[in-house]
Every structure is written in C-alpha cells, then in structure tokens.
Structure 1
Amino acid sequence: MTQPLLTLPYLIRPATVDDAEAYARTHVAALHETYEHIMPPEYHEYYDAELPAMIERRRAAFEEAERTPGSARSWLAYDDAGEPVAIATSGPGRDEDRPDFELHHIYTLRSTHGTGLGQRLLDTAIGTRAAYLWILDDNPRAERFYLRNGFVPDGTRMLCGPTWHHKPMFRMHRADQPG
C-alpha cells in the first residue's frame, strides 16, 4: 500500500493504476469548474464524452510511470469523506526548448479553493525545483497562484489546439527555489 505524503485536512498520495477512473473523473469535473467562464459549451460536452478514453489513457500513463523511473508522476487528493477533490501531474519537460521539469497540471475542485490544497499539491509535484507550465489566458486565479510561487511568463505564447478552441496560452517558468 502506498503511504500518504501529506494528511489532514486532505490526503495527497501518488496515483496508481487503480486510480485511473477517479483521476480522470476529477480532472473532467475540475475542467468544467475551472473553465466555465472561458470555454464554450462544446468544450464541456467534448470532455464529458471523452471521459471513457481519458480513463484508459490515465491507466496507460500510470502503468508507464510504475515501469519507468523518471517518467511523469501524478497525485490525487482526497477530502475527509474519501472523495477525490484534486489532481496534479509533473515530470520531464515536453517542450523541445525547455527540457527541464514541467508541471503538466494542477486542478482543484472549487470546494477546496482557499484551503491551501493547491499549494500542497504544487509543493508535492515539483517541490523547490526549477520548472515551467502552460496557462490559458484569462485565468487570473491560476496566474496569481503561480506568480506567488515564483513563476514568471517567459515570453512564449501559442494557441491551443481545436479541442481547446484555439484559445491563447502562455508559458511560465521559475528558477530553483530556496529550500
């Protein structure tokens, strides 16, 4: 059994193959909450329909992570009732010009906002290391969070693909943080 990394009021633990469904469901729920003001209804309909495939992709990713040292890792956070309320994934950078460490995503359900859970997930997923991430434009809550944690825009921008309705996004990076 995997030992928890952190406890009360939320339990954060590494995700396993058995967590693929809970992870994907939490991911979709958080996408809906996070982007309800940015994305059109079609975006949300797509992710609802995509959920079974997302579960299978997560299962495959978690199997790969268990087999391959140094690959991306994921975490799930649970509330006191044992319900999943947040997710995070980080790992080696996927951008050719930034081969360092990447925070792939952190998503917390709205019910946890303001509790410090996002900070705990960030600390768990990347610690004090240098890292980068991508963030959608018009997401001020997330941008403030990452700025507070030493991330700054690095000047790289691009448009998301069709699933994300070609919305603009930008990359943020931070140097190693004092331990």
Structure 2
Amino acid sequence: MTPLLRPATTADIEAGAALQRACWREAYGPYVDAALLEERLADPAPWVAAWTRQLASGPPRTVAESDGALVGFAVAGPSRDEDGATPYELYAIYTRAAFWGTGLGQRLWEEVRPDGPCSLWVLAANERAQGFYRRNGFAADGAREHYADLGADEIRMVRP
C-alpha cells in the first residue's frame, strides 16, 4: 500500500519519536559506533520531549503512514546556520529502510520543499543519502562539522 502523507499531530508524538529512533538505527548504524548510537537511542524520553516541543513550536512536520504505522517523516524550516548560507534548511527526512528506493523519500521532500534556496546536513560517510540529495539539486558547499551526538562528521549540502 502506498503510504499516506499528512501533517503530524500531537497524537503522533509517541509513534513519531519511536519512528525517528528506528530510522536513526537503520540510517546511521553502518556509519557510526554502534555502542554510541545505542547509548544515544536508549532512553525514549528525550525523543518524545523533542517531538512534543517541535510539534508545539513548528515548523510543521509531514508524516508518512502505512497500514496504521508511521514509516517516514520530513520537516523543513528557517535555516539554523549562523553563516546564513540559505534562508531555509531541511531539518530531517527519514523513512524506514523497508521504504528506501520506493519513492517515499522523494514524496516527503516534495511535500516539505521550501520555495527558495535550502541547505541540509548529512553524514559525510552516507553516500546513499548524499546521492538522493544530489538528485534533488543539492551540492556540497565545503562546510563540515563534527556531530558529537553520533561521533561522526557531517557535510552541508545546498540547493540554490
């Protein structure tokens, strides 16, 4: 069944937090220290708190639902980069691994894509994700940061 895209609501907080944790395991597992990742994901409370706070303060999130379960989400909003490289930022786009290559990520991107230049941060080692972003007009701009929560480097990609 093709997943339904819809705005996230407060009823999605617990499931959204669980979805994000599961997506982190699947997406980041090959690229980061397993023990560090599990330590970061062990306690669901901060994830629930983050979803609660983010749904209350925006920007809006889009979730993908299939057979009553959340299987993906995306959110974009004003850039958080201090250098003002772009006015908008893709904060997150995730799908469960079972939906990789199905077009769901593309549908989520099209749903949240801002009208204007946009940036994002992606693990430097994650070529699969970078390929998706390149197909959508993003290119690395040379900015690089160390993401301490995952013990891995990230690169910034921008879309004019």
TM band (smaller chain): over 0.9
The structure having more radius of gyration, on CA atoms, is: 1
User: Cα offset for 1:32?
Assistant: 0.3
> Is residue 100 from structure 1 mapped to residue 93 from structure 2 by the alignment?
no
1:73 is paired with a residue of what secondary structure?
A: coil
Counterpart residue number, 1:136: 123
Separation in 2 of the partners of 1:128 and 1:90?
A: 11
Please point out which of 117, 122, 137 is paired with 2:104.
117
Identity level (%): 35
1:5 aligned partner: none
Q: Deviation at 1:129?
A: 3.1
Does residue 171 (structure 1) correspond to residue 151 (structure 2)? The answer is no
Which residue does the alignment assign to 1:89?
Answer: 75
**Would the alpha carbon gap of residues 157 and 48 (structure 1) be closer, same or farther in structure 2, given more than 3 Å must change?**
closer
Deviations 1:85-124 (A, max 9, x none): 1111111100111251000011111111111000000011
Whether the aligned pair in 2 keeps the contact of 1:28 and 1:47 (CA below 8 Å) is: no
Structure 2 unmatched runs, 5+:
none
Matched residue of 1:30: which SS?
A: helix
Please report the RMSD computed on the Cα atoms of aligned residues, expressed in angstroms: 1.4
Give 1:127 deviation, angstroms. 4.9
Paired residue for 1:29? 22
Q: In structure 1, what residue type is equivalent to 2:142?
A: G
Instruction: Give the structure 2 partner of residue 146 of structure 1.
Output: 133
* 2:31 is the alignment partner of 1:45: no
SS in 2 for 1:47: helix
Letter in 1 for 2:46: A
Task: Return the match for 2:50 from 53, 57, 79.
Answer: 57
| Contact 1:74–1:89 (CA under 8 A) maintained in structure 2 | yes
**Partners of 1:46 and 1:93 in 2: how far apart?**
28
User: In the alignment, which residue of structure 2 is the partner of 1:73?
Assistant: 60
Shift of 1:39: 1.3
Shift of 1:155: 1.1
TM-score (norm 1): 0.83
Quick one: distance in 1 between partners of 2:6 and 2:28?
Answer: 25
Instruction: Report which of the two has the higher share of strand.
Output: 2
Q: Structure 1: which 5+ runs fail to align? A: 1-7, 66-71
Moved more, 102-111 or 14-23: 14-23
TM-score where L is the length of structure 2: 0.93
For the residue of structure 2 that corresponds to 1:169, the secondary structure is strand
